[in-house]
Amino acid sequence: MNSNAESDSANLFTEKVFENWSICDQFISNWSKSKGFGVIKDRVTKEGDNIRRRVYICEHGKKHAFNSNKESSSKKISCLWHVNASCPNANNSDSAIFIKKIVDEHNHDLNIEAVAFRENKRFNEEMMEDIEFLTHHCKMGATAQRRYLEGKYPSHTIYSKDLYAAIKKFCPTMKSLSNDTMQISDWLDEQKKRDFRWIVVRG
């Protein structure tokens, strides 16, 4: 492969072609991290189950709508960077993905080190499975889970804020707990109807 071809494969440019959406997603994600920022998927247009158009925006894109006067650490500061990708119907028998538009403008500093740090501290799939198991089945709190994870993954620094957020994903919500309580109550009432010897006392 010559140097021009290698450069093309590593760069993002208008009319760049990808075999499918998964490859396109991964490339844009990796490419943006190498430049010092993250991307998120924004608007999408579908025909049935097929994605026809997708817009990728900078993680600092859009603008956060504040509902209070309190200060927020939101990263959404209306960054203009975005990419439009398309999978047209016409003359596209392979369902290839084409980059149609790139607005390469940021209103913030790019920081490769910060992005790398964020990626390195992120829990991998195996760690998330451990956290889910420890939360659901072992009913372990954050302190005990941290000791377990630090012992099993000594090379991975565990940050409390990230661990709390991960545990929260797997904790039952108040709504689900309320639903469980109602189901148990209904079941007890049904047993009482079937067998007069049942005595149900509610506090």
Measured distance CA(53)–CA(44) in Å, rounded:
6
Among 78, 73, 49, smallest CA distance to 62 is for 78
3-state class of 76 per DSSP?
coil
Instruction: Indicate whether this model's pTM tops 0.75.
Output: no
The confidence band for 95, taking pLDDT boundaries of 50, 70 and 90, is very high
Q: What are phi and psi of 188, to 5 degrees?
A: -65, -40
pLDDT at 70: 45
Q: What is the mean pLDDT of the chain?
A: 83
**Residue 62 in this model has a pLDDT that exceeds 50:** yes
**Residue 43 in this model has a pLDDT that exceeds 50:** yes
State which amino acid sits at residue 32. S
